[in-house]
Amino acid sequence: MELGKRVVSKQLGQLLIERGLIDKKQLQIALDKQRKEGQLIGQILVKLGFVSEEDIVEALTTQYGYPYLPLENYEIDKSVLNVISAQVIRHYYLIPIDKIANILTIVMADPLNTFAIKDIEQITKMKVEVFVSTATDIKKSIEKYYGKPSGASKKEVEENKLSKADFATTARENLKKETEEKKKDTGV
């Protein structure tokens, strides 16, 4: 599994402030809402209209070094789409875009979801390379190539979104723990 090329230790909110995209008051509003609702800070900032999905993606690429790939005009070969089941694609909210030898390239909105990446590596028996895109672009691509989910009620879809947010939060916490453990192990 390839994680980003670099890690900037700043929080997403701080990066957005430094870029002049939000101010401290807007960040505080979002953090208060996050404590109440438990969603990812980036999702909350977008819902509040303080930033766009693209702003969040650009900050993630700056923070973690993942390349950004807008999917709107990207065509994916059908043989690549068959590498991962539609159920797994929808569960982790990602899409495979390329396969060269034993390397599978996927695009996801939350590149810090190490569980998803590890699962995809285990399922496919391939090394996974990660690109980042907006949740909207990924949703449109999933619907374009796999169709809209059938039989899912609005409530089930909302519950699935919440479980993804919870899952991503857990993944971030585990990544932070792993990073701290590696620092201890290397004496950094």
User: So what's the pLDDT on residue 178?
Assistant: 52
Give CATH superfamily name and number for 67-188. Type II secretion system, protein E, N-terminal domain (3.30.300.160)
User: So what's the pLDDT on residue 103?
Assistant: 97
User: So what's the pLDDT on residue 46?
Assistant: 92
Confidence of residue 65 (pLDDT cuts 50, 70, 90): confident
Domains in the chain: boundaries: 1-65, 67-188
**Rounded mean pLDDT of the chain?**
81
Q: What is the mean pLDDT of residues 53-60?
A: 88
pTM: 0.66
Least confidently predicted of 2-16, 86-100, 105-119: 2-16
Rounded Cα distance, 103 and 98, in Å: 8
Q: Tell me the pLDDT tens digit for each residue of 146-183.
A: 998 876 544 445 444 444 444 445 545 554 555 555 45
Q: What is the mean pLDDT of residues 8-24?
A: 85
Q: What is the mean pLDDT of residues 53-77?
A: 88
